[in-house]
Amino acid sequence: MNFLILTVIKAAVVAFVLLTALAYLQWLERKVLAHIQLRVGPNRVGPHGLLQPLADVVKLITKEDMMPSHVNSFFWFLAPFIAVMFALIPIAVIPFGTELNLPTLDLGPIHLPAIRTAMQLTDLNMGVLFILGISGMGVYAVALAGWSSNNKYSLLGGLRSSAQMISYELPMAMAIATPLLFLNTLSFRGIVDGQAGYFFGFVPKWIIFQGFPFNIISFLLFMVAAFAETNRVPFDLPEAENELVAGFHTEYGSMKFAAFFMAEYCNMVTVSCVATLLYLGGWHPIFPNALGSGFIPAIIFLGFGVISFMHAARPARPFDRITLPVVGVVAFVHAAAFGIGALLVMKPDLAQGSPVLQWVASLANAIMPIVWFTGKVISILFVYIWVRGTLPRFRYDQLMSFAWTFMFPIAVVNLFIVGLYVALFG
């Protein structure tokens, strides 16, 4: 019964965090692109535009939903549901941290039972294959949307996407096979455990630092293929507005259009999580806890708070005099909380004899890996946004040629060399 309750709670928390993150990832992208292009970005709805995602959701829900008379109604309705379903399912096998292991806390009126659960919805021994298989099914949503719309622009967008996603799946799969040869497991937890420890006491044993330079090549191949798989610039040919009028979702509006939009951002999050787990050590810190790695989040929040108060002293907008000090205080509170947690993780003897401090130390031991994992995922998502604001779109012939004449041969040669190396010296 406790297992069932914990599973329901974890599923609810993961769903809430993921859907909120998807909404604000769109806000973050608009803000970052605005800074790259020396614009302001969304700033009308709420302080600094923070309520813009909520306004967009309300607009899309209340917008009139029209169905063109010439579409194949069954598949036209089915396509956005398929896109969202196959985008959300992979999150179930993504591990976000080590384990939550809280002792019983009994302080008279406050009684908290012991909790022990993995920071993951479910652990599969073949988690990598599961995500590859489920993610590959997403192409059906785009192809069905283009075909069922009975529109030449939508059809071209669907055909482009089918060819593009299938083509780039091959170099992506071969890139993923490289770290799997080194770690000899298909379980994400086993993959992250195989990257624990440090070379020379301070260089992390992440896969990109093992088998130099082959895993770095594998990581670059994976990221380029991931851009193409998620239809992002410079590979967003299925929805090239200048020639396809939005491509496969030209005939969609209201929440059906939002479903494709959400699926794209969810796929970005999934790919970033997989890249973090396969190549960047998962939840392992960049240097050992003994050297104070746990204090990095506290330092970041502290700096963020200081910057907020500095901008509040010279506000760009009158409302900043109110909002920025509030943000600064919240940042300082987070800095203090992470600092205390990092100190207890670094020096567990300080918690001896105090049930409250032992409970806080156990909570910190579970939260710090999540912080590291989240930080790495956000860094990769920032690269997604950065590339969108930097590179132009490929021509379609360049996109296909790049996959088959450049990425695929390099992936094959890289995988062959790594396989030979592991067979001889592994």
Please determine, for residue 215, whether its predicted confidence score (pLDDT) is greater than 80: yes
Q: Where are the alpha helices (DSSP H) in 184-279?
A: 188-193, 214-229, 241-244, 254-279
Q: Count CA atoms closer than 13 A to 190's CA, side-chain side.
A: 15
What mean pLDDT value characterizes the chain? 89
pLDDT of residue 69: 85
- Domain layout of the chain by residue ranges: 63-284+347-425
Confidence of residue 7 (pLDDT cuts 50, 70, 90): confident
pLDDT of residue 321: 87
pLDDT of residue 275: 96
Among residues 303, 298, 301, 291, the alpha carbon closest in space to that of 364 is found at 298
Highest mean pLDDT among 108-122, 226-240, 296-310: 296-310
pLDDT of residue 1: 54
Kindly list the distances between the CA atom of residue 315 and the CA atoms of 38, 253, 322, in Å, as whole numbers in the listed order: 18, 39, 10
pLDDT of residue 367: 92
pLDDT of residue 425: 83
pLDDT of residue 320: 83
Mean pLDDT of 272-293: 91
User: What share of the chain in percent tops pLDDT 90?
Assistant: 50
Bond into 234 cis (ω within 30)? yes
Mean pLDDT of 107-124: 83
Confidence of residue 147 (pLDDT cuts 50, 70, 90): very high
pLDDT of residue 284: 93
Among residues 364, 324, 328, the alpha carbon closest in space to that of 343 is found at 364
Please determine, for residue 243, whether its predicted confidence score (pLDDT) is greater than 90: no
Please determine, for residue 250, whether its predicted confidence score (pLDDT) is greater than 90: no
pLDDT of residue 185: 92
DSSP 13-47: HHHHHHHHHHHHHHHHHHHHHHHHTT---S-SSSG
pLDDT of residue 116: 87
Which pairs with CB-CB distance under 8 Å and at least 24 residues apart come from 362-368? 362/101, 362/102, 362/103, 363/100, 363/102, 364/294, 364/340, 365/98, 365/101, 366/97, 366/98, 366/99, 366/100, 366/101, 366/102, 366/119, 367/97, 367/341, 368/285, 368/294, 368/297, 368/341, 368/342
Confidence of residue 148 (pLDDT cuts 50, 70, 90): very high
**Span 323-344, pLDDT tens digits:** 899 999 999 999 999 999 999 8
Range from 172-181, 248-257, 344-353 carrying the lowest mean pLDDT: 344-353
pLDDT of residue 154: 87
Beta-strand runs (E) in 295-364: none
Highest mean pLDDT among 250-254, 315-319, 348-352: 250-254
Question: Residues in the chain, how many?
Answer: 426
Please determine, for residue 240, whether its predicted confidence score (pLDDT) is greater than 80: no
User: What share of the chain in percent tops pLDDT 70?
Assistant: 98
**Span 342-391, pLDDT tens digits:** 998 888 888 787 888 888 889 988 999 999 999 999 999 999 999 999 98
Bond into 213 cis (ω within 30)? yes
